[in-house]
A and B are shown apart, each in its own frame.
Chain A
Amino acid sequence: MMRSWKSLRGAMIALGCALGLTAALAAPAHAQKKYKIFLSLSYSGNAWQSEAANIVKALAATPPYDKMVDLREVISGTDVQAQISAYQSMIDAGAQGIISFPVSPTGLNRIIKRGCAKGVLFFMYDATVTEPCAYNVSYITAGFGENTAQALVNELGGKGKIFLSRGVPGNSVDKRHTDGAMSIFKKYPGIKIVAEYYGMWSDQTTQSETAKALAAHPDVDGIWAQAGEDGAIKALLATGQKKLIPVTGENSNGFRLALANPDYQARGLKGVSSGSPPATAGYAFKLMMEKLTGKRDLKVHNIQYPLPWVPASAVKLCTSDKFENGCNTFPEGKVPDSFVTEVFQPTLLPELSLVTAQEGKPTPGATIQPLPAEVVAAPDTPGINCSHCNPPANLYPLTKVQPTVQP
């Protein structure tokens, strides 16, 4: 008995030593000096995140970066401490640049500050942090909420009942979008929000929640949605009613195809596809590389990415795997409905094609093109990209549409 118990302990110790030795011996040998870049994700397992990560990986493998960049991906999950720990490990491992989707706008600030002091560049894409030394590259300040709200109000002629399909409760991006939208809706007394629910940025949840709301309010006139809007469309279609209504949302392929569908249009589906572009990650990566290689001196820390804006009339199907002729949607069957289409940006990111977003591989024959010299600075938004700061007087300016109806 004693012997077997002791030997079990001994076996564990031996196993541990073996593990340790192999891990130590498995250290990679460095061929030539490459920039050590880490791609730090928090969430995973949804189309937006994997497309954004793929874009970064593809760009890192596109010449000449393929010889210059040693990219490693780390996924830490939704626990902010796990991402703090990951940042610590990356800083200790000698990272020169960390490109990341931060899980919290405020909780990572201390470790980022420590990293900046050591000379590490932090570039955040889409989600932002309020730490001043980090660089935020995002569309958040470009006004998704207020612009889509005004577009919906315009379609409804200034009055009607609407649903508000939000994202995740307690999340600052959801709050910014909704606050922007509410600033518009409040101006019109004829607009009534009859249902407000959280679709959790998921097509399935949005579909269930919209179905529940439709059952209670079958006479709704319009839907303002954040990501997951394709679920709202499916819920509308499932009611079996002939009449469809205006819907504004983000940029899933299914939504854009629905907007362009002549049958749905005839039944009353109108709207705009806007929302968060995964291509932001590519822009952030190229900015970081240009700064690292000394080609750019980036003084601005909060950089705004242009807000996608595709009304139903502007939906254009891509005929190949490349983004040519201003196309912005993929034919049915080429990608799943939940595919997030804004993975292209011909001006800023000509190196992208469908394969970069889907597989993380570089476009054959592409090389990295220099970015345009100017960057658009994002306005100070407390809680999003700065903490002790004052927002501009008009925090929700309309940039894409103008009101066609007066309150």
Chain B
Amino acid sequence: MSATGTLPVARRPGGASTRRLLANGTFNVFVVYVLLFVILMIKQPDTLSAFGVTDLFNNALPLALAAAGGGLVVLTRGFDLSVAGVIALTNVLIATALPDGPWGAVLAVAIAGGAGLVVGAVNGYLVAYVRLQSIASTLATMIVCSGVALLVLDAPGGQVPDAVVYGFSGVLPGNVPVSAVVALVVVLLWLALRRTDWGVAIYAIGADETAAALAGIPVRRAKFFTYCLAGILYGFAGLMLSAVTATGNPNGGTTYLLLMFAAIAIGGTAFSGGRGGVIGSMIGAATLTLLQKVLFSAGVSSFYTGIFQGLVMILAVVIGAITARLAEGRAR
């Protein structure tokens, strides 16, 4: 029996799952990311240049934020399809409704967070209180949001103010990408939130909703808050997208739908609820975007990138499940 075999049983479910999480999904995807990064560095030494690092963060962050939000919902055994609509909506709003000047950046954050919060609250209300099935009701809200986006901007264009573009996709003194700082802030917020009652609650709800309700957890309130938070994260994903592309596009959110779930899966969050989290989903998103670059540098024909993506998704989930079961066995 090794020293690590005698894991103390934590009082809060969050504690034990923290250890399991770090031992499994998140760690594994981090290993994969590092591997891919090493391969990329060998083939393309420019990767570590100032541009290179900023590019990597900028490219990955919209999907990472979306996956963070979607991952929260998946933790509660839900599916949030509204990500595509919220991203498109915040993107077109930021591209059309903002004045130039430094206040533009602050207003952009407010708009992105606000629009995301509104949609998230509607989703949360419908799923938690009206008790609709999440996959269907978020599909409907996504459709409504994309219609609103089309009304705001009927063709790609608009103008994202420079304050937003350089404020969010540029670099801080010392060549630190702003997007890296944003990612760090989100991670820190998550680590703090996870220790709250709500953080414990969503893992419990995902693992076994009936038991959680019987144990006195305010299930509906926790779910509602989850969807709200997810909506805000989608809004920020739209903000980052606006910063990177510098324009608005009413159809800009559709690709995020499937990519987000791929990122969540690769990141080790279990779709049966109760395991995984924001960090793994964000690294999963970064891995997916890095995979494109690695496949490019390795000369893999474009036709087959899709096959690679699909296989990586399946492998990630399978390996995650296997290591999860093995780790549980180890703790006994």
Query: Footprint of B on A, CB under 8 Å?
Result: 1-2, 4-5, 8-9, 12-13, 16-17, 19-20, 23-24, 26-28, 41, 44, 72-82, 84-86, 88-89, 92-93, 104-110, 114, 168-172, 174-175, 383, 387
Given contacts A5-B330, A105-B156, A106-B156, contact A19 B31 (CB under 8 A): no
A84 touches B244 (CB 8 A): yes
User: B100 an interface residue at 8 Å Cβ cutoff?
Assistant: no
Closest residue on chain B to residue A92 by CB atoms: B46
Given contacts A74-B296, A85-B292, A93-B297, contact A106 B43 (CB under 8 A): no
Closest residue on chain A to residue B149 by CB atoms: A170
A104 touches B249 (CB 8 A): yes
B157 touches A168 (CB 8 A): no
B157 touches A86 (CB 8 A): no
Given contacts A88-B55, A106-B245, contact A8 B323 (CB under 8 A): yes
Return chain B residues, CB-CB under 8 Å to A2.
2, 4-5, 330
Distance, CA A401 to CA B43, complexed state (A):
55
Return chain B residues, CB-CB under 8 Å to A110.
165, 244-246
User: B327 an interface residue at 8 Å Cβ cutoff?
Assistant: yes
Return chain A residues, CB-CB under 8 Å to B90.
none
User: B154 an interface residue at 8 Å Cβ cutoff?
Assistant: yes
User: B155 an interface residue at 8 Å Cβ cutoff?
Assistant: yes
Stretch in contact with the other chain, from B182-190, B198-206, B251-259, B269-277: B251-259
Return chain A residues, CB-CB under 8 Å to B259.
79
Distance, CA A175 to CA B299, complexed state (A):
37
Q: Chain A's nearest CB lies how many Å from the CB of B254?
A: 7
Which residue of the partner chain, among B154, B246, B319, contacts A109 with CB atoms under 8 Å?
B246
**Chain B residues numbered 19-35 whose CB sits less than 8 Å from any CB in chain A:** 28, 31-32, 35
List 6 A-B pairs, minimum CB-CB distance, nearest first: A107-B245, A16-B35, A106-B247, A75-B302, A170-B250, A79-B255
Which residue of the partner chain, among B62, B153, B327, contacts A81 with CB atoms under 8 Å?
B62
Distance, CA A41 to CA B303, complexed state (A):
11
Which residue of the partner chain, among B31, B44, B251, contacts A170 with CB atoms under 8 Å?
B251
Distance, CA A41 to CA B38, complexed state (A):
27
Q: Chain B's nearest CB lies how many Å from the CB of A165?
A: 18
B249 touches A107 (CB 8 A): yes
Return chain B residues, CB-CB under 8 Å to A26.
298-299
A23 touches B156 (CB 8 A): no
Distance, CA A71 to CA B206, complexed state (A):
50
A89 touches B44 (CB 8 A): yes
A168 touches B251 (CB 8 A): yes
Q: Chain B's nearest CB lies how many Å from the CB of A404?
A: 32
Distance, CA A75 to CA B59, complexed state (A):
17
A77 touches B255 (CB 8 A): yes
User: B322 an interface residue at 8 Å Cβ cutoff?
Assistant: yes
Distance, CA A204 to CA B294, complexed state (A):
36
A-B contact count (CB 8 A): 158
Closest residue on chain B to residue A107 by CB atoms: B245
Interface centre among B155, B245, B246, B319 (most CB of A within 10 A): B155
What are 16 of the A-B contact pairs (CB < 8 Å)? A5-B323, A5-B327, A12-B32, A13-B35, A16-B31, A16-B35, A20-B38, A23-B298, A41-B302, A73-B301, A78-B255, A84-B59, A84-B245, A89-B296, A104-B245, A170-B155
Further pairs besides A26-B299, A80-B252, A383-B157: 14, Cβ < 8 Å: A1-B326, A5-B327, A9-B323, A16-B38, A17-B35, A20-B35, A28-B299, A74-B302, A82-B255, A85-B59, A107-B246, A172-B155, A383-B155, A383-B156
Which residue of the partner chain, among A23, A88, A172, A174, contacts B39 with CB atoms under 8 Å?
A23
Give how many B residues have a beta carbon under 8 Å from the other chain's beta carbons.
Answer: 60
Distance, CA A150 to CA B52, complexed state (A):
51
Interface string of B314-332 (1 = CB under 8 A from A): 0000010011001101100
Return chain A residues, CB-CB under 8 Å to B255.
77-79, 82
Q: Chain A's nearest CB lies how many Å from the CB of B180?
A: 17
Return chain B residues, CB-CB under 8 Å to A175.
154-155
Q: Chain B's nearest CB lies how many Å from the CB of A56?
A: 14
Interface string of B104-144 (1 = CB under 8 A from A): 00000000000000000000000000000000000000000
Q: Chain B's nearest CB lies how many Å from the CB of A200?
A: 11
Q: Chain B's nearest CB lies how many Å from the CB of A6?
A: 10
User: B230 an interface residue at 8 Å Cβ cutoff?
Assistant: no
Which residue of the partner chain, among A16, A72, A82, contacts B292 with CB atoms under 8 Å?
A82
Return chain A residues, CB-CB under 8 Å to B241.
81
Return chain B residues, CB-CB under 8 Å to A74.
296, 302
Return chain A residues, CB-CB under 8 Å to B226.
none
Q: Chain A's nearest CB lies how many Å from the CB of B163?
A: 15
Q: Chain B's nearest CB lies how many Å from the CB of A16?
A: 4
Which residue of the partner chain, among B157, B289, B302, contacts A85 with CB atoms under 8 Å?
B289
A106 touches B154 (CB 8 A): no
Q: Chain B's nearest CB lies how many Å from the CB of A352?
A: 23
Q: Chain A's nearest CB lies how many Å from the CB of B304?
A: 10
A5 touches B247 (CB 8 A): no
Q: Chain A's nearest CB lies how many Å from the CB of B116?
A: 19
A172 touches B156 (CB 8 A): yes
Return chain A residues, CB-CB under 8 Å to B323.
5, 8-9
Distance, CA A387 to CA B159, complexed state (A):
9
Closest residue on chain A to residue B165 by CB atoms: A110
User: B210 an interface residue at 8 Å Cβ cutoff?
Assistant: no
Given contacts A74-B296, A79-B259, A109-B246, contact A172 B157 (CB under 8 A): yes
Given contacts A2-B5, A172-B156, contact A8 B246 (CB under 8 A): no
Return chain B residues, CB-CB under 8 Å to A24.
39, 42-43
Return chain A residues, CB-CB under 8 Å to B220.
none
A107 touches B59 (CB 8 A): no
Closest residue on chain B to residue A179 by CB atoms: B155
Distance, CA A107 to CA B250, complexed state (A):
12
B330 touches A1 (CB 8 A): yes
Closest residue on chain B to residue A79 by CB atoms: B255
A170 touches B249 (CB 8 A): yes
Q: Chain A's nearest CB lies how many Å from the CB of B85?
A: 13
A171 touches B44 (CB 8 A): no
Distance, CA A114 to CA B62, complexed state (A):
21
Distance, CA A281 to CA B154, complexed state (A):
27
A81 touches B244 (CB 8 A): yes
B326 touches A107 (CB 8 A): no
Closest residue on chain A to residue B44 by CB atoms: A92
Distance, CA A107 to CA B255, complexed state (A):
15
Q: Chain A's nearest CB lies how many Å from the CB of B228?
A: 26
Return chain B residues, CB-CB under 8 Å to A76.
292, 302
